[in-house]
Amino acid sequence: MNVSPKLKEAAYFNPTKKSYQISIFDLCEKINHNKITLPLYQRDVSWHINKAVDLLNYQLFGKAPISPISINQISNGISVPQVSFIDRELIDTSKILADHLSIVDGQQRLSTNFKAYINHPDYRNIFLDVSRAKFRIIDSEFKKGHIPVGILLNKDADKLKEYLEKNGTFKELYSTLVDVRGKIKGYNYTMNVADNLSEDEQIEWFEVLNNAGSRVTSLQISFSKLKVYDFDIYKDYISIFNEKISEYGLEDIYRKISTRESYPIAALNSSYEVVYKKGNHNSNFAPISPDAKGKLLATMEIDDLKNIINSTLDSLEQALNFISEENLLETVSRVDYILYLTGLYSFRKNRELSTEEKIGVVNWFTKVTFSDSNQIRRKIFTEFINEFR
């Protein structure tokens, strides 16, 4: 019987021998100096702030360690371009050293800790509540026992001392908070290491670990290539799109985390049809997740794509203004309302609605019933734009 050499090779290679532990603050320092980066195909930070608070509390109070981080150690040339954490800036390949680490799985956990480490404004409302003994989101009525996470876990230890002295609580709290800071500072993550994985090997590992066997989305792969041309679909469009929605208090409108990418991409369909199809609408270009045309859009010239994006963002702004001015915010129970109205403004080339048309759209908002059937949702959108465009 023939025994494949690959089987023998696999039996003698044990990747778990390459695991090691490293503290949160050491990880954050490496991220801060771009010694740990992200492969280009990774999407941006997707965790909601509540998820970040859950992680911080678990690291402080949990009875078991956090699951391991999976990293690709680059020592033999780059197979996938790298971007920095948070701001997703393209990393100069000439500055990548032999011990460079690229995160395959663990971006959200590391980003949470790093944002606290640099006192990122996204975490301005996260506090350690000393009285309740937990991290919390607090929007008002700050008390002396509420310690900002960006001060408590700041890379500069003096920030905590200065904060407590300023608030007159140094003598009461400093000793305890130094212990808390020390706990998090020395909290170790296990790092599972692989060497010089190709892009396909990294994606395969990512799928198994992060997606429980599902595929890395075509959106991630298609649009990641554009960063090489100094355009990041997440930073330059998707994040802006979602931030605009959040400004109107609708940040929880998405039912699934994954649709925070696909719906903004699908929202580009209408502007695309106006420019490239002379305003003719095909039913499978509706602003719904299954109709997101990532691969198509990723083949466009960068300037053309940027024009479509800018037009769509203008349409989104008009749609959100209309919803707010017409007191329809409480009516918006799903993202379809926003996307369909955005699509309408795109087809109108952002022309304002007349008084009569506004009345008609308000009536549509109060009467429309969305379905989970994609076919019905496409039909609703077609009828909507045909009536008001």
The pLDDT of 296-305, averaged and rounded, is 86
More confident residue, 263 or 218: 263
For residue 40, list its beta bridge partners. none
Tens of pLDDT along 132-145? 999 999 987 778 89
Higher-confidence position of 234 and 146? 146
pLDDT at 310 over 80: yes
Q: What is the pLDDT of residue 215?
A: 42
* Average pLDDT over the chain, rounded to an integer: 86
* Window from 190-194, 253-257, 324-328, 385-389 with minimum mean pLDDT: 253-257
Task: Kindly tell me if the per-residue pLDDT of 262 is higher than 80.
Answer: yes
Over residues 27-62, the pLDDT tens digits come to 999 999 999 998 887 777 778 889 999 999 999 999
The span from the CA of 82 to the CA of 102, in Å, is 8
Q: How far apart are CA 45 and CA 107, in angstroms?
A: 7
Q: Mind listing the pLDDT tens digit for each residue in 107-129?
A: 999 999 999 999 999 999 999 99
C-alpha span between 289 and 174 (Å, rounded): 50
**C-beta neighbour count of 14 within 10 angstroms:** 8
Place of tokens 């466009």: 300
Average pLDDT of the segment spanning 344-352: 94
Percent of the chain whose predicted confidence (pLDDT) is above 90: 55
Confidence of residue 7 (pLDDT cuts 50, 70, 90): low
pLDDT tens readout for residues 206-226:
665 555 444 445 556 666 666
What integer is the mean pLDDT of 261-273? 92
CB 110 within 8 A of CB 55: no
Question: What is the distance, to the nearest Å, from the Cα of residue 355 to the centroid of all Cα atoms in its chain?
Answer: 38
86-106 tens-digit pLDDT: 888 888 877 777 778 988 888
Of 355, 366, 378, 376, nearest to 388 by C-alpha is 355
Euclidean distance between CA atoms 107 and 116, whole angstroms: 14
Note the pTM of the prediction, 2 decimals. 0.65
Q: Between residues 389 and 343, which one has the greater pLDDT?
A: 343
Q: For residue 270, what pLDDT is reported?
A: 96
CB 189 within 8 A of CB 27: yes
Amino acid at 340: Y
Task: Give CA–CA dist 143/54, Å, rounded.
Answer: 21
